[in-house]
Amino acid sequence: MLVETDVNLKPYNSFGLPATARRLVRIREELDVRRVVDHPELGRAPKFVLGGGSNLVLTRDVDAVVLKIEIPGLSVEERSDCWIVEAGAGVTWHEAVAFSLAQGVPGLENLALIPGTVGAAPVQNIGAYGIELKDRLENVDVVDLTTGRRVTLPASVCRFGYRDSVFKQTGYGGLAGKSVITRVRLRCPKPWQPQLGYLDLERKMAETGIASPDARQVFDWVCEIRRAKLPDPARIGNAGSFFKNPVVTADQCRDIISRDPHIVHYPMPDGNFKLAAGWLIDACGWKGKSVGGAAVYEKQALVLVNRGEARGAEVVTLARAIQESVYGRFGIRLEPEPVVV
């Protein structure tokens, strides 16, 4: 096990923000986690788990031991009622989606091109175009950062919510900072049923005249839509959607609509409504505005970008200004998606 010191983290976060890890260990197999836990010095030190760094805002250097998750591996097991796609936590999420399709396994196509690693996907309960990770998760292998013991957790105990999970929670029973995901198994059910109840996908169907697309076609559409809306982190630093879409009660939604009839909103099964955070931000005039090197993406107000030399503090200052602006006009407090360190 190699312990690297004073590691530049700029290449390891999609925002491209400057920061240094005092100590970093690359986790390339589950045994590496146990080696860290058993180490006389590292075992006692605080840990910081780093996957693809695509949901992260670094505002300072990291004193905790950084565990850079790089566990590989992809496989498919076919069962009578489903396929099980198994992936190492260090595999990029999009690679896992593309691999499943290449193996003839549909079911993950709506989640194409979401940045980050497989291991980070359950933490955030990633979702897009009508599908969330919780809809496809079978189980995860998790290693306790205190004991080094591995357990396999079924999806039913992961306490999934909107961009939330037990792995992100710090309260009673929460596993944030206490464990690391090493392997994920995804369940793609048979028979495959396309998920097309989303406006952008409906537009693609209308434009192409394809009424019954196969999984590959849905995958291609999702990639096209995301590339048109979201900047490529390899060219423009960003963390994807910066704010969660707020959920309000039916009464709150009616009140807002009475003042802003054009607000974009979606009904939810529980009777509440989800509001489009990007629309709220755009309505407050933030698109294209900046604080230092951090800016609101001119093509999508939900995305904050690094114009070249932004620092984490500038991203946070911009985000807080947006929150205050939206709250002042709509009475809604936007919640950031990325973890701020």
Pairwise CA distance, residues 233 & 159, whole Å: 30
Helix, strand, or coil (residue 240): strand
Alpha carbon distance 48, 68 (integer Å): 9
Q: Is 22 a catalytic residue?
A: no
Which residues pair with residue 152 across a beta bridge? 141
Distance CA 310, CA 17 (A): 7
Query: In Å, what is the CA distance from 85 to each residue of 78, 191, 216?
Result: 9, 16, 17
Q: In the sheet that 137-144 helps form, which strands lie side by side, from edge to edge? A: 74-78, 82-88, 179-189, 137-144, 150-154
Q: What's the token pair of residue 97?
A: 């989606």
How many Cβ atoms are within 10 Å of 184's Cβ, its own excluded?
A: 26
DSSP 246: P
Pairing of strands 82-88, 150-154: unpaired
Identified catalytic residue from 163, 185, 226, 311: 163
Q: What 3-state class would DSSP assign to 63?
A: strand
Catalytic residue among 86, 109, 314, 337: 337
- Reduced to 3 states (helix: H, G, I; strand: E, B; else coil), residue 49 is strand
Give the active site residue among 86, 241, 314, 325.
241
Is 77 annotated in the active site?
no
The H-or-E segment that residue 327 falls in is helix 312-330
Helix ranges (H only) for 90-240 are 93-102, 121-124, 199-208, 215-229
DSSP string, 75-90: EEEE-SSEEEEEEETT
Catalytic residue check, 163: yes
CA separation for the pair 103, 218 (Å, rounded): 16
Which tokens sit at 22?
Answer: 């005092």
Strand, coil or helix: what is 163?
coil
Query: Among positive and negative, which fits the CA dihedral 48, 50, 56, 62?
Result: positive
Residues recognised as catalytic: 163, 241, 337
